[in-house]
Amino acid sequence: MTTLSFEGKVAIVTGAGGGLGKQHALALAARGAKVVVNDLGGAVDGSGGSVSAAEAVVAEIRAAGGEAIANGASVTDFDAVSAMVEQAIQTWGRVDILVNNAGILRDKSFAKMDMADFRLVVEVHLMGAANCCKAVWPHMIAQKYGRIVMTTSSTGLYGNFGQANYGAAKLAQVGMMQTLAIEGAKYGIHVNALAPTAHTRMTEGLMPQEVLDALQPEAVVPAMLVLAHDSAPTRTILCAGAGSFEAAHITMTQGVYLGAGADVPEQLAEQLATVTDRAAEMVPPNGSAQGSHEFAKAMAAAGKP
In this model, does residue 175 exceed pLDDT 70?
A: yes
Q: What is the pLDDT of residue 198?
A: 75
Q: What is the pLDDT of residue 215?
A: 80
In this model, does residue 184 exceed pLDDT 90?
A: yes
Residue 257 appears among annotated catalytic residues: no
Name the active-site residue from 145, 158, 166, 187: 166
Query: Closest Cα to residue 97, out of 54, 39, 38?
Result: 38
pLDDT confidence bin for 120, thresholds 50/70/90: very high
Q: What is the pLDDT of residue 41?
A: 81
Spatial distance between the Cα atoms of 51 and 271, rounded to a whole number of angstroms: 57
- Asked which of 60-69, 204-213, 268-277 is least confident by mean pLDDT, the reply is 204-213
> For all residues of the chain together, what is the average pLDDT?
94
pTM over 0.75: yes
With a pLDDT cut of 90, the percent of the chain lying above it is: 87
In this model, does residue 85 exceed pLDDT 60?
A: yes
Kindly tell me the sign of the dihedral angle through the C-alpha atoms of 248, 15, 162, 148.
negative
Q: What is the pLDDT of residue 278?
A: 98
Phi, psi of 192 (to 5 degrees): -135, 175
pLDDT in tens, 226-257: 999 999 999 999 999 999 999 999 999 999 99
Strand partners, 34: 10
Question: For the chain, give me the number of helices (H) and strands (E)?
Answer: 12, 8
pLDDT confidence bin for 209, thresholds 50/70/90: confident
Strand partners, 97: 11, 147
144-162: average pLDDT: 97
pLDDT confidence bin for 104, thresholds 50/70/90: very high
pLDDT confidence bin for 83, thresholds 50/70/90: very high
Helix (H, G, I), strand (E, B) or coil at 236: coil
Spatial distance between the Cα atoms of 25 and 171, rounded to a whole number of angstroms: 24
In this model, does residue 102 exceed pLDDT 70?
A: yes
DSSP state of 239: E
In this model, does residue 30 exceed pLDDT 70?
A: yes
Spatial distance between the Cα atoms of 119 and 174, rounded to a whole number of angstroms: 18
Q: What is the pLDDT of residue 206?
A: 60
Spatial distance between the Cα atoms of 121 and 82, rounded to a whole number of angstroms: 21
Question: What would the 3-class secondary structure string for 58-116 be?
Answer: HHHHHHCCCCEEEECCCCCCHHHHHHHHHHHHHHHCCCCEEEECCCCCCCCCCCCCCHH
Q: What is the pLDDT of residue 130?
A: 98
Given a contact cutoff of 8 angstroms between Cβ atoms, the answer to whether 278 and 251 are in contact is yes
